[in-house]
Amino acid sequence: MTNRHDRPHSHTQRTRIASAAARLMAEDGINDFAFAKRKAARSLGLPETSQMPDNAEVEAELRLYHRLFQDTEQQERITDLRRKAADLMAIMPQFNPYLTGSVLEGTAGRYAEIDIQLFADSAKDVEIFLLNQQIDFEHSTPRTDRAEAVLSIHTGDAVANLVIYPPNEERMTLKTRDGRVRERARLDTVRGLLTKP
């Protein structure tokens, strides 16, 4: 039988793990929530069987960490990454690009990568386009089975991942690993974000 006094302790433990995971993501460039939570638990001397915070809790702590410790740096970084994303999206309208991930959400840290969803009949079409534009790319491992391929591009000091899906996936609601709807934005929305003070 669970002791009713365990609940505050469990909540405090979740908060401690979320806070430590957020710090790791902000400072060390970890972008895998599950890995950050496991590493945070270990750093706090807690077993991996501890009740873990969900990704939304870590994200809230990450926003707080950025605001407290990296505010100006992080805002400049977000603006720079969004500008680079908009430049890439502008040259490939035929693939219906959407910005997604931490750059869109405003939680991107020092080593965050840009994630752009593309929708094409074949990943080869995108590869041929990039070759014709003389843009170097390399293949990366997709994080989801629904993506056909991921092509990574170095743009200045940042990496942009072009995550390629079949055209019919554009109408689907894509979700994060913890079941939340994955937000995404068209080019005009990204440009709108860049004009905000």
- Please count the other Cβ atoms lying within 10 Å of the Cβ belonging to residue 130: 17
Token representation of residue 10: 């469990």
Sole residue written with tokens 């599950």? 34
* Range(s) of the domain holding residue 26: 6-69
Pair 78, 47 in one domain = no
Domain boundary pick from 25, 51, 69: 69
Pair 49, 86 in one domain = no
Concatenated DSSP letters for 102-151? HHHHT---TT--EEEEEE-S-HHHHHHHHHHTT---EEE--SSTT-SEEE
Predicted pLDDT at 134: 96
Whole-angstrom distance, CA of residue 172 vs CA of residue 180:
14
| Domain-located, residue 1 | no
Predicted pLDDT at 159: 94
Whole-angstrom distance, CA of residue 61 vs CA of residue 76:
20
One digit per residue, pLDDT tens: the chain, 197 residues? 344 444 556 778 889 999 998 888 888 877 788 888 999 999 999 887 788 998 889 888 888 887 787 677 778 889 999 999 999 999 999 999 999 988 998 888 777 899 999 999 999 999 999 999 999 999 998 878 889 999 999 988 899 999 999 999 888 877 666 666 778 999 999 999 998 76
Domain count, the chain: 2
Overall pTM > 0.75: no
Pair 84, 100 in one domain = yes
